[in-house]
Structure 1
Amino acid sequence: MFSLLRENIRIAMDSIKGQVLRTILTILIIAIGITALVGILTFLGALEKTITGDFASMGANTFNLQRYEFNTRNNRDREKINPIINYRNVRAFNDKFQYPFSKTSVSFTGTRGAEVKYENEKTDPEASVLGVNENYLENTGTEIDKGRNFTFFDIQNNNHVCLIGSDFTKNLFKNTNPIGKTISIRGVKFKVIGLLESKGATFRNNQDLKVLIPLQLARSIFTLPNINYNISVKVDDKQFLEGAQDEAIVTFRNIRGLSPVEENNFGLERSDDLINRISNITSYLYYAAWIISIITVFGSSIALMNIMLVSVTERTREIGVRKALGAKKHTISGQFFLETVIIGQFGGLIGIILGIAVGSLAASISNFEFTIPWLAIVAAVVTSFLTAVVSGLYPAVKAANQDPIESLRYE
């Protein structure tokens, strides 16, 4: 049995080598379908990992108080406009919310177009400056690469200190340790006490080109009206999360002066709720990717079948000679079937390589985090094999059922 299989493989390989142009075209047809499948799945995998990674860094024990609920804040047709979370709300919440084993982070974005100066060097006006308190890094899952975090006294005493993103080491502090150096933002000087670990960029939002400064100092520098503040609460243990959420809602309702019958005029979101929503959205994208890829592969399988039928027709006399020499039906069908499977696997291999290359290129252009798409690779191997099986069955059966006498007369 194994000797017959080896013989069929050898014959199939000889036939493939003898029809180089046809084989290349057939492999390319399969490769196009597999490239579409792998490329789309690779890109979606990078997209999902990047987005979920950004939200997961906040931790499963964190929730945010914000102006709107996640599912309504982007609704243009909403009838109710919630008031912003202003500084008075923030101060009142900090004073009144005293849930055990919890830490509250307060922050706001002063500007996204700051020019940061160091000695005779300066950045383009595209740096973000955030006013934060001492719990911001822990609640957002941001790590320190060098130096230290803000202390309670830094925030309370309005010390002129700051934390900077990793991208500043590529321009202002190239080949220089930034810790202890003094930078200037809008004429105000800050001493760099910490360098943040790189977090990359999402949808062109560079998270590594930002400066964190004490909250009160930021308020004195950036005096725009109607600043909306961000409140984030993190509990030490997930078992306290529900209780902390309930306490936060009651506290903020009292701050807003809401009666028991009035609805909340603010939103509360848990970080893992956002991750679940994003996963649901990307699942639909995966379904769409599979539908597109299946249509492409279906077209490839039809083309492969037609090419193999042409091959059977052109090799009719060869089939007759083999049958005259004693070859049985299963030997003939096995030869053509193996030939189709081998071509399909070659096409699948090339499609996987091209698909990963295309998907990783698209992910790189979009600044998404690329990972090896194992799911896409497995799907491509299985799909290319099934495509070859489906496409090779009919030509193999047709070849096996050829009449040997008629085949020998074929010119």
Structure 2
Amino acid sequence: METKEALRIALQSLWANKLRTILTLLGVVIGVASVIAVVTLVNGANVYVATKVNGYGADVFTLSKQPAFTDSYADFLTYEKRKIIGMEDYHAVQNDCRHCLQVGAMQSSLGKIVFGPQSSSDTTIRGYTSLMAEMQNLNIVEGRDITQADEDHAAHVALIGSDIEENLLKGDDPLGKEIRVDGVPYTIIGLSEKQGKTLGQSQDNWVAVPLTAFDKTYGSSKTLTIYSKAGNAPGAMEAATDEARQLLRLRRHDLPGAPDSFTLETSDTLVGLWTQISGSFEAVAVAIAAISLIVGGIVIMNIMLVSVTERTREIGVRKALGARRSDIMLQFLLESGTMSLLGGAIGVIGGVGVAQLITLLLGFPASIALWSIFAGLAVAASVGLFFGVYPARKAAELDPIVALRSEF
């Protein structure tokens, strides 16, 4: 029997039992859709994090009380017990780090912004040193950044994210407008470019004021995050990070051989840690989805066994007319393989659709990985063929005389 003829017969058999075929496909569809959706979302998150972190520049590193990502509660408790990074630490790095081309610092808190009758709660209030927006790669589309003069005089000036302009100022020209940040008046001097959402959380609901003005309102007991730019010269990053680390270790009296009492992170560190965390999540999700594929394969095998029983007389007639064992096996293997491959194709479309829907509703970044589509189809077809071997062999080994006597 030619492969083309066997495929035609397999499709006819599947079409003749449409409802049973659809129900059989569900396990494969759910499994493949789950894998594709998870891989698409994780890949999108990886691309987003890499873009954002690298946006700070490959030559920028940070010094903070605790890392940006913590993968265990025990580590989190350890980091919480550390001393805060204060203004003295910042000034030590700023004044004594010879390999650091530029040094800035930031503090943050949550607060309420009021403009006329409009207000915004749970807004991130940032305390910036001069040129911090530049170091965080924020593009000022209107106005200017916070300057050293603003910092020296604790000036009541503010940069705002696009959410403040859209929701409070309603699109009016923000420059020169006065807003109240937790009751304190500030004059808007700059507007940042819109950044969008991440994991459903807006990245534009913030106001930045000079760090000295921030400390007057909120106090200096909050920990700082120090940003430093090392330059692009060969070995500049290593020299700057080593020097900054030694300066902080001396100031914080870290004993020789003891771990740092602070966290130093580069863009590569953050991307690597996030990739590790997301990779673990992806592995668990794929393992769970694999269970759906196995269940789907078992369902396919069960239905194929039923099909062999129902078509016993048909098999006997084909053998009596000269069909070989290989022809019968090919017919049933193609039937199970076609069924699972079709389920895989539907699952791929459904998985991409689910990922895009999550992106639309929650703002979670998504990026389709082509390898995952081909892998999903290949795995689906393999499941069908693997679980179709036993029913196909059982059909091929039927005695034609016994098969012709069957009542089915």
TM-score by length of 2: 0.87
| Equivalent residues of 1:93, 1:255 under 8 A apart | no
Alpha-carbon deviation of 1:184?
2.7
Distance 1:404 1:64, change over 3 A: same
Report % sequence identity: 33
Residue 225 of structure 2 aligns with an amino acid whose one-letter code is N
**1:36-64, CA deviations, whole angstroms, 9 ceiling, x for partnerless residues?**
32233334334444444443433332222
Query: Residue 125 of structure 1 aligns to a residue in which SS?
Result: strand
Distance 1:204 1:340, change over 3 A: closer
Q: Structure 2 CA distance, aligned partners of 1:32 and 1:277?
A: 30
Alpha-carbon deviation of 1:112?
0.5
Residue 97 of structure 2 aligns with an amino acid whose one-letter code is F
Alpha-carbon deviation of 1:213?
1.3
Distance 1:358 1:207, change over 3 A: same
Q: Structure 2 CA distance, aligned partners of 1:80 and 1:106?
A: 20
Q: More deviation in 232-241 or 88-97?
A: 88-97
Equivalent residue number for residue 181 of structure 1: 177
Query: Residue 199 of structure 1 aligns to a residue in which SS?
Result: coil
Distance 1:330 1:215, change over 3 A: same
Q: More deviation in 128-137 or 36-45?
A: 36-45
* Correspondences of 1:339-350 after superposition (within 5 Å): 339-350=335-346
Q: More deviation in 132-141 or 76-85?
A: 76-85
1:289 to 263, 273, 285: 285
Distance 1:243 1:8, change over 3 A: same
Q: Structure 2 CA distance, aligned partners of 1:147 and 1:74?
A: 44
Alpha-carbon deviation of 1:34?
1.7
**1:333-389, CA deviations, whole angstroms, 9 ceiling, x for partnerless residues?**
222221112111111122222223334445566542122243432221111111111
Q: Structure 2 CA distance, aligned partners of 1:7 and 1:167?
A: 62
Tell whether 2:227 aligns with 1:232: yes
Equivalent residue number for residue 206 of structure 2: 210
Residue 338 of structure 1 aligns with an amino acid whose one-letter code is L
Q: More deviation in 263-272 or 239-248?
A: 263-272
Equivalent residue number for residue 127 of structure 1: 123
Q: Structure 1 CA distance, aligned partners of 2:254 and 2:293?
A: 58
Query: Residue 115 of structure 1 aligns to a residue in which SS?
Result: strand
Alpha-carbon deviation of 1:287?
2.3
Equivalent residue number for residue 191 of structure 1: 187
Tell whether 2:38 aligns with 1:40: yes
TM-score by length of 1: 0.87
Equivalent residue number for residue 105 of structure 1: 104
Equivalent residue number for residue 61 of structure 1: 59
Alpha-carbon deviation of 1:65?
1.7
Aligned length, in residue pairs: 404
Alpha-carbon deviation of 1:216?
1.8
Q: Structure 1 CA distance, aligned partners of 2:357 and 2:129?
A: 39
**1:127-173, CA deviations, whole angstroms, 9 ceiling, x for partnerless residues?**
11111022312322323344433334443344443211121233113
Measured on the aligned residues, the alpha-carbon RMSD in Å equals: 3.0
Residue 231 of structure 2 aligns with an amino acid whose one-letter code is D
Q: Structure 1 CA distance, aligned partners of 2:102 and 2:73?
A: 26
| Equivalent residues of 1:69, 1:267 under 8 A apart | yes
Q: Structure 2 CA distance, aligned partners of 1:286 and 1:259?
A: 39
| Equivalent residues of 2:341, 2:381 under 8 A apart | yes
Query: Residue 120 of structure 2 aligns to a residue in which SS?
Result: coil
Equivalent residue number for residue 353 of structure 2: 357
Residue 189 of structure 2 aligns with an amino acid whose one-letter code is I
